[in-house]
Structure 1
Amino acid sequence: MNLDQTAVREIVRRALAEDLGPDRLDVTSVATIPADQTDTGDLVARADGVVAGLDVAAAVFDEASGGTVGFAKKVSDGARVARGDVLATVAGPTRAILTAERTALNLLSRMSGVATHTRAWADALAGTKALVLDTRKTTPGLRALEKYAVRAGGGTNKRMGLYDVAMIKDNHTVAAGGIAPAFRLVREAFPDVTIQVEVDTVAEAVEAVEAGSTFLLLDNMEPHQLREVVAAVDGRAELEATGGLTLDRAREFAETGVDYLSVGALTHSSPILDIALDLRPRS
């Protein structure tokens, strides 16, 4: 579940700049807290869930403080936590801790919310061969973090963007004059790229497989239709159910024999996991 630390630092710097403005200034903390004051605080879960993004939160405190705030994790990403659990402890200059607080919590809470939602899907599919996939329906600028959070929650990443996998969707098929011509054009242009094909019917699924596709997106199909495609394809391609899937019907779709369920809601509709920073009382 590695994260690109260069990408993390870039995201953290942008997020802090948004909060601190051109002068990099927290006017409230500067006005109310002596420069030499130090404190210790705990990052605490306010609800049950799954944690993701602790290293990202640590990077926020480090960046905002110039390395003067220490960050000690009490749990690991992917852990299930309960309301009241301490996730990490921070210690150092109080001004820096409070300056970093909201940015760190925004990112940590967002990522943990995605992980929590993903875990619910992974649990629903347990015992079937189907895995839950994310999509490109991510928050602009936060794709790397949100896809990491999906992994922390027990999900699987699909493609990162338009550059690493070719996905022939219905509009591409229309523009190219059919599934087979579209597949041929992509294969000729990019011989080594993985190609996935979106289909709406059993006939299109068979056409795509015969054209050479080994991965099909089965768009907005009901379980009985998915079973028909599974039988017709007969193991010649991996199959992904996509479109309009809901958690309450997840297992019904998984038990059709498809390999994946892709769920845009993992990243576009997950509520945050409420996490707070509590300074310890001063002695």
Structure 2
Amino acid sequence: MKFEGTKSYVATNDLTVAVNAAVALERPLLVKGEPGTGKTELARQVADALGLRMIEWNIKSTTKAQQGLYEYDAVSRLRDSQLGDERVHDVSNYIRKGKLWQAFEAGEKVVLLIDEVDKADIEFPNDLLQELDRMEFHVYETGEMIRARHRPIVIITSNNEKELPDAFLRRCFFHYIRFPDPETMKQIVEVHHPGIKNALLTEALTQFYEIRDMTGLKKKPSTSEVLDWLKLLLAEDLSPDEIRRDGADALPKLHGALLKNEQDVHLFERLAFMARAGR
């Protein structure tokens, strides 16, 4: 069971090595990187390439580790007992299975994505240590032990918003997705926009990387944003000359696809003003 990338996902050699190492070690793969570098999409592509079903657990700031195992609805059970409902005699009627439970009881190997783990409380990763390590957990309300029938491939993503506990990191195989260099980016663009003219692509990517390298930029545009920008450039049928910037017009064409806050727009506007004043 080897991952080698897919037709719709350009995976670098070090990324494929990391995925296959995590699978061989049967450890969670912790993938870090700035937003828009394809961390979440990696899990989908691994599942697709290996022919496996994917179970996705999207983490929010309010998510608790227990929700990944199961939730017991005591309020509904109390209400049903007051109404004389026969369901109340079977506590399992009030157990809602979480994403880990679903992955553990699957009749086949699955890919379990725990997406943006750093959004949750700092204790969240530690609360899952034993379950992810032993691939089992106890349901206190029913007394049963839930064990993984087939150890899932666990992929955990993080946007590096907060540090993760050392004990959690020790149990993971770690990979940092570096931002694509221009050559890799060209391959990614070719997947999404096949046949794009080289002159337009070269001019667009030159501008894109110049923007990312600008000092003072609050939010650097990501891979997904340059793909959206190129889609707009193609839809408008703009030529390389039409999108080329000069000092007096520092904002790129259709800049709303690349710049996502007023601070960065104002930065470009100030540069344009300074260029005009210097003439």
TM-score range, shorter chain: under 0.3
TM-score by length of 1: 0.24
- What TM-score, normalized to structure 2? 0.25
By percentage of residues, which structure has more strand? 1
